[in-house]
Structure 1
Amino acid sequence: MREETGVAMVKGGGDEADSAPRRGRPRSIETTNAILESAYALMAATGLATTTIDAVARHSSVSKMTIYKWWPSREALLIDAFLHHAAQMLPLPPVSSGTPAARARRHAAAYAEALQGEFGKVQLAVISECISRTGSAELFYARYLQFRRDALVEMIAAGQTDGSVLAEAAPEDLYDAIYGSLFYRYVFGIAPITPAYARNLVDMVLQPKD
């Protein structure tokens, strides 16, 4: 899920990086983190309606001018704040942490658990905000989902190549079957989502050898 839309971005995979060219003085990491953490804290505590640029500026003790300079819109800031939190809470599994299937199980289980707390509520609220403001969730996909999706699709493809994943469908479709199912069940409250369910879903979809 590549997160670049013309402003400095934080990639959601455990590694945080600014990718866009800047003018003037470079960003302060400390100030950037203060803004993002304040925005997420406000979303989690009071909801999106009250998480305005003014409120974030007050909470983070950073000027509105600075925030507007670094983010093109309120929606972009909210997504990046969610992304910043997700990078810490749900880092993408490193190659050294096991087979592709084992890594997929751990990540899917962590995502299922996260959905049950404030993380799930904030994610849904941010997506809803994007849809209500722009008519689609394309901005959320571009700034958050694409980079993570691409990374996990690549991981699944690696498992197909080394023979540890027996499922023959396109790795993009396998990823969507796992995470689309988890998100679908969460949004509509169809059934409880547990880490055990997520691990079993990964095994059912990927058909791993291990």
Structure 2
Amino acid sequence: MRRPGVAMAKGGGEEADSAPRRGRPRSIETTNAILESAYALMAATGLAATTIDAVARHSSVSKMTIYKWWPSREALLIDAFLHHAAQMLPLPPVSSGTPAARARRHAAAYAEALRGEFGKVQLAVISECISKTGSAELFYARYLQFRRDALVEMIAAGQKDGSVLAEGAPEDLCDAIYGGLFYRYVFGIAPITPAYARNLVDLVLRPKG
């Protein structure tokens, strides 16, 4: 399943490509410069300082080009986060082990990422969406939906081949894992570690053997 606005990149990652195809095709180098500049500014100076003007200066790309390719500042920030996440947290390929092993590895990587700037930027982007639109629907549509669908499909495959013994709906199992990690992170209930994430996957999915 491919969500609108995202093209699959080689190697299983996703690459932000949110603009409609009109006129000249995008330059990959220019797109990457914009997205990397936006993420770098978010991480270094915070969202308030990550304006279109600031991104244009940092990336040496005109504001006109940025406005042409992204419908809003929020969309740009989300796509910049997506671009970074695709490199930092690639979705596990089918060839990399059983569904449970892949889920364990991905959840552990997500837990580790939450402990650094990635977690702070993710929370800031979600907060920005909520403050501007009243919900995080934009974040879900542009970033989370595609990744959630892929993880749900992975869990369903494990249920089908018998390597995942949990009988709940794969959507609920996925949300229990990643929702649990995010809940624990947002409220600072206890430290999040990769080991905790791996144990959570085993508790929820009940992998065979």
Tell me if both proteins adopt one fold, taking TM over 0.5 as the criterion. yes
Deviation (angstroms), 1:13: 5.1
- What TM-score do the two structures reach when normalised by structure 2? 0.94
- In structure 1, C-alpha distance between the alignment counterparts of 2:49 and 2:190, rounded to whole Å: 31
- In structure 2, C-alpha distance between the alignment counterparts of 1:67 and 1:10, rounded to whole Å: 21
Mapped contact 1:44–1:118 kept (Cα < 8 A): yes
**Alignment match, 1:104:** 103
**Alignment match, 1:73:** 72
Once the two structures are superposed, the pairs formed by residues 22-37 of structure 1 within 5 Å of their partners are 22-37=21-36
Mapped contact 2:52–2:73 kept (Cα < 8 A): yes
Aligned Cα root-mean-square deviation (Å): 1.9
Mapped contact 1:10–1:84 kept (Cα < 8 A): no
Mapped contact 1:127–1:137 kept (Cα < 8 A): yes
Q: Return closer, same or farther for 1:97/1:42 CA change in 2, 3 Å cut-off.
A: same
- In structure 1, C-alpha distance between the alignment counterparts of 2:55 and 2:27, rounded to whole Å: 17
- In structure 2, C-alpha distance between the alignment counterparts of 1:9 and 1:54, rounded to whole Å: 29
Deviation (angstroms), 1:15: 3.8
CA deviations over 1:107-149 (Å, ceiling 9, x no partner): 0000000000000000000000000000000000000000000
**How many residues get paired?**
205
Mapped contact 2:177–2:201 kept (Cα < 8 A): yes
Mapped contact 1:12–1:148 kept (Cα < 8 A): no
Q: Return closer, same or farther for 1:104/1:164 CA change in 2, 3 Å cut-off.
A: same
1:8 aligned counterpart, secondary structure: strand
Q: Return closer, same or farther for 1:72/1:190 CA change in 2, 3 Å cut-off.
A: same
Deviation (angstroms), 1:18: 3.7
Q: Return closer, same or farther for 1:19/1:52 CA change in 2, 3 Å cut-off.
A: closer
Mapped contact 2:155–2:170 kept (Cα < 8 A): yes
Mapped contact 1:40–1:85 kept (Cα < 8 A): yes
Deviation (angstroms), 1:206: 0.1
Deviation (angstroms), 1:16: 2.7
CA deviations over 1:83-125 (Å, ceiling 9, x no partner): 0000000000000000000000000000000000000000000
Deviation (angstroms), 1:14: 1.2
- What TM-score do the two structures reach when normalised by structure 1? 0.93
Mapped contact 1:112–1:195 kept (Cα < 8 A): yes
User: Greater relative contact order: 1 or 2 (C-alpha under 8 angstroms, separation 6 or more)?
Assistant: 1
Mapped contact 2:8–2:14 kept (Cα < 8 A): no
Structure 1 alignment gaps of length 5 or more: 1-5
Mapped contact 1:164–1:208 kept (Cα < 8 A): yes
Mapped contact 1:92–1:148 kept (Cα < 8 A): yes
Q: Return closer, same or farther for 1:109/1:158 CA change in 2, 3 Å cut-off.
A: same
- In structure 2, C-alpha distance between the alignment counterparts of 1:127 and 1:17, rounded to whole Å: 17
Structure 2 alignment gaps of length 5 or more: none
Percent identity between the two aligned chains: 94
Mapped contact 2:173–2:205 kept (Cα < 8 A): yes
Mapped contact 1:99–1:164 kept (Cα < 8 A): yes
**Alignment match, 1:94:** 93
Mapped contact 2:155–2:164 kept (Cα < 8 A): yes
- In structure 1, C-alpha distance between the alignment counterparts of 2:123 and 2:11, rounded to whole Å: 17
